[in-house]
């Protein structure tokens, strides 16, 4: 049992509700019918689930909403506590879009998962709590793979032994992920590790996988040739003495004399010999061997050393510009070996979305989660592309006269498994609501001022020393209406005597008079509920806070002959322009085409104000391509609200609506 400062059991986790914010469907039939989805919780539509939120809270939500014991395979690639810089590098779109800009620094909650701001003890507690929750989600035949590096492998191995039991350990797999880099005083590090555990030590889903034969292995073992081809020599005997025919002499060779027995009965050995499958050495006394032809093998059985899977190519089609992205081949091997088509795969550190994308390609159901908004956007775009490609492939097969439905068909051996779903939905857990811009601003303001956040208080955002702190929404200056809301809150807390600090961007004159009157009645060093104000643009100590300007767009929507015509006239992202200005120095940035700032465009022709259902999405394939900017799509009958969502290259979203 590993012990650290502050170790505590996970006795209780609050299960917050989830809020649906987006849905995507690539075809009319969105999920397998039949037994695959029979045990799916009714609160969720059949299909992939992508959660934006702290994975501890998301895992607790899944446990409380019907997923306990239903996940067949879990793969996680958690932070390694290595101090790495995980800020995304972003390029503008277009053939000349060579200007690179740093993505947003992660908010306070995101930093907990993506940068090394904690001590070792906090990291261990962080991982310990999540492993305990993951164990509860795993099915009886389920498997867990934890991706680590050499610095944390021994610590996480100890945590996994405690959470799952040492008997649940299967392998510590070494993946040769890169070529060696010369070191001044140590050996070059070329491996990551996969800690492989199962829910039940007695059994788990297992499909044998094979590695390709290396040239060294081929040259060393496949050195013999006959009319059938190249072959290696294998053993005909097995360890241990046996009574009966398998222990009897055969053709003058007695296995019992060397403490072994025949791997096949002598009658089977005779059949193999008649088929030319036994090699008889010319050297007197040398034992016969089994011929193993290279053409009959799928490869060498996988060991716990994977040296045949390349890392992400710097310019490859898989690359999502995500710092910890793993190659699809790595996830293909894990998912194929430890799950079957239709099984449920979970990744709660999904990053660039590789696990969900590969699960989708291999016909598995999937749940993915990340606390970073950029990761959710990257994963969603990637999955939309995968699902569209699957629909196109099905249509091409149908056009060629091949039988079978896209969902639930029995594929030929050389074909991939049919997708378990052709849709997914995006959800937010806890405070990831429609006011996410305000929440991010609160986090930035608290970090700037040094406010200690208070998650348990529904009104105040934290404390500054002994004072309570309330962040006024930054979309308006502090007004008497905000102050009256404060008064009503205090009326409901008669025992509260602490002073308060209000943080705002600007103040109305009437608000200044209100505060002066309030404080005039509360004089003295120990006066209760005195109000102080930090105005972030003018305050002497904190006035260097820069106000965030949201992205803006001008969109025209028209209805013509039963169709919608959508045209984006203009788009501007102050965040991108500000970053370019900071990095350019004295040179002023100039962006000739607004589309260079846009990553993708999505349209919901019948927006209900809550859930964004994607009917059309414009996601350029290459970084050098631009979005179209004008779109034509079918119009719903009757009056409707058309919502156009534009996401810039930094991941900021803006939604423009129009009633037609």
Assess whether 400 and 527 both reside in one domain.
Answer: no
Q: Are 467 and 501 in contact (CB under 8 A)?
A: yes
Residue 8, domain member (yes or no): no
pLDDT of residue 62: 96
Secondary structure (H, E, C), 373-433? HHHHHHHHHHHHHHHHHHHHHHHHHHHCCCCCCCCCCCCCCCCCCCCCECEEEEEEECCCC
Closest CA to 50 of 355, 322, 319, 335: 355
C-alpha closest to that of 76 among 268, 347, 295, 264: 347
Residues spanned by the domain of 586:
552-659
pLDDT for the residue numbered 394: 85
Is 227 found in the same domain as 354? no
Residue 128 to residue 179: CA distance in whole angstroms = 32
Q: Is residue 272 part of a domain?
A: yes
Consecutive 10-residue runs of the chain (660 residues): their mean pLDDT? 88 81 85 80 94 91 95 90 43 63 43 45 89 96 94 93 95 84 75 94 86 73 88 90 90 91 91 92 91 77 85 49 72 96 95 94 95 85 93 84 58 69 90 48 75 88 92 85 94 92 88 92 82 84 64 93 94 79 57 88 92 91 87 94 90 89
Nearest Cα residue to 21 out of 608, 624, 526: 608
Q: Are residues 570 and 634 in the same domain?
A: yes
CATH assignment of the domain containing 582: 2.60.40
Query: What is the domain count for the chain?
Result: 4
Final residue before a domain boundary, out of 429, 453, 477: 429
- CA 299 from chain centre, in angstroms, equals 31
Looking at the fold, whether 43 and 177 belong to one and the same domain comes out as yes
Q: How far is CA 366 from the centre of its chain?
A: 11
pLDDT for 104: 44
Give residue 87's pLDDT: 39
* Whether residue 313 sits in one domain with residue 167: yes
Name every residue whose Cβ is closer than 8 Å to that of residue 229 and which is 6 or more positions away in sequence.
293, 294, 295
Q: Is residue 547 part of a domain?
A: no
Does residue 281 share a domain with residue 400?
Answer: no
154 lies in the same domain as 188? yes
pLDDT of residue 536: 80
The answer for residues whose C-beta is within 8 angstroms of residue 127's C-beta and 6 or more apart is: 78, 156, 159
Residue 103 lies in a domain: no
Q: Which of 245, 270, 298 is the last residue of a domain?
A: 298
Q: Which helix (H) or strand (E) holds 217?
A: helix 215-221
Find where tokens 């239709």 sit.
342
The DSSP annotation for 119-187 comes to -HHHHHHHHHHHHHHHHHHEEEEEEEEEEE-TTTHHHHHHHHHHHH-GGGEEEEEEEE-S-----SSSP
Q: Say which residues have a Cβ less than 8 Å from residue 541's Cβ, sequence separation at least 6.
A: none
Residue 117 burial class via C-beta count within 10 angstroms: exposed 0-12, middle 13-18, buried 19 and up = exposed
Q: Which tokens in the block code for residue 523?
A: 């004089």
Q: What pLDDT shows up at residue 581?
A: 66
pTM attached to this predicted model: 0.65
Cβ atoms 19, 58 nearer than 8 A: no
Same domain, 264 and 318: no
Check whether residue 74 and residue 53 sit in a common domain: yes
Instruction: Answer whether residue 52 is part of any domain.
Output: yes
Domain-located, residue 102: no
472 lies in the same domain as 423: no
Residue 112: the pLDDT is 36
Of 429, 462, 488, the position where a domain reaches its end is 429
């Amino acid at each position: 049992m590993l012990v650290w400062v502050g170790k505590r059991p996970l006795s209780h986790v609050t299960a917050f509700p989830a809020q649906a914010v987006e849905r995507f469907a690539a075809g009319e039939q969105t999920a397998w019918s039949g037994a695959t989805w029979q045990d799916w919780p009714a609160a969720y539509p059949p299909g992939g689930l992508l959660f934006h939120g702290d994975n501890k809270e998301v895992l607790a939500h899944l446990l409380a909403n019907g997923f306990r014991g239903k996940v067949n395979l879990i793969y996680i690639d958690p932070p390694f506590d290595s101090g790495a810089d995980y800020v995304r590098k972003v390029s503008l779109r277009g053939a000349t879009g060579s200007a690179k800009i740093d993505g947003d620094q992660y908010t306070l909650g995101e930093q907990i998962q993506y940068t090394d701001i904690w001590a070792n003890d906090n990291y261990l507690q962080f991982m310990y709590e999540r492993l305990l929750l993951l164990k509860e989600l795993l099915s009886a035949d389920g498997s867990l793979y934890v991706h680590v590096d050499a610095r944390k492998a021994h610590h996480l191995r100890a945590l996994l032994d405690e959470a799952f039991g040492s008997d649940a350990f299967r392998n510590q797999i070494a993946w040769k992920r890169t070529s060696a880099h010369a070191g001044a005083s140590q050996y070059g590090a070329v491996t990551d590790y996969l800690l492989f555990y199962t829910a039940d030590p007695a059994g788990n889903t297992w499909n044998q996988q094979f590695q390709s034969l290396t040239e060294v292995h081929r040259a060393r073992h496949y050195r013999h040739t006959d009319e059938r081809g190249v072959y290696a020599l294998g053993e005909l005997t097995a360890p241990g003495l046996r009574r009966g025919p398998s222990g009897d002499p055969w053709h003058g060779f007695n296995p019992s004399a060397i403490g072994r027995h025949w791997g096949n009965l002598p009658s089977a050995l005779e059949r193999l010999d008649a088929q030319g499958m036994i090699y008889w050495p010319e050297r007197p006394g040398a034992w016969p061997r089994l011929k193993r032809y290279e053409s009959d093998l799928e490869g060498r059985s996988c060991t716990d050393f994977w040296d045949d899977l390349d890392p992400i190519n710097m310019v490859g089609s898989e690359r999502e510009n995500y710092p910890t992205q793993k190659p699809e081949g790595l996830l293909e091997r894990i998912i194929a070996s430890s799950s079957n088509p239709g099984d449920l795969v979970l990744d709660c550190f999904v990053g660039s979305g590789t696990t969900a994308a590969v699960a989708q390609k291999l016909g598995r159901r999937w749940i993915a989660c990340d606390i970073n908004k950029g990761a959710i956007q990257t994963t969603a775009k990637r999955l939309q592309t995968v699902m569209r490609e699957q629909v196109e492939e099905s249509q091409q097969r149908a056009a060629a006269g091949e039988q079978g439905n896209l969902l639930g068909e029995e594929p030929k051996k050389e074909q991939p498994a049919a997708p378990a779903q052709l849709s997914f939905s995006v959800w937010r857990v806890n405070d990831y609501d429609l006011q996410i811009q305000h929440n991010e601003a609160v986090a930035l303001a608290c970090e700037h001022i040094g406010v200690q956040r208070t998650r348990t208080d529904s009104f105040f955002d934290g404390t500054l020393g002994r004072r309570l702190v309330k962040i006024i929404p930054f979309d308006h200056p502090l007004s008497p209406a905000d102050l009256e809301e404060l008064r009503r809150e205090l009326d409901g807390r008669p025992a509260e005597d602490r002073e308060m600090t209000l943080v705002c961007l600007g103040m109305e004159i009437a608000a200044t008079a209100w505060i002066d009157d309030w404080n005039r009645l509360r004089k003295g060093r120990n006066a209760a509920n005195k109000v102080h104000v930090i105005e972030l643009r003018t305050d002497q100590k904190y006035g260097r806070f820069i106000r965030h300007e949201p992205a803006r767009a001008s969109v025209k929507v028209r209805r013509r002959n039963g169709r919608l015509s959508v045209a984006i006239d203009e788009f501007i992202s102050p965040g991108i322009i500000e970053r370019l200005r900071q990095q350019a120095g004295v040179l002023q940035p100039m962006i000739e085409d607004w589309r260079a700032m846009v990553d993708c465009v999505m349209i919901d022709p019948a927006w209900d104000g809550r859930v964004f259902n994607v009917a059309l999405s414009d996601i350029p394939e290459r970084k050098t391509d631009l979005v179209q900017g004008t779109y034509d799509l079918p119009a719903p009958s009757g009056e409707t609200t058309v919502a156009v969502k534009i996401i810039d290259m930094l991941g900021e979203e803006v939604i423009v609506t129009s009633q037609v």
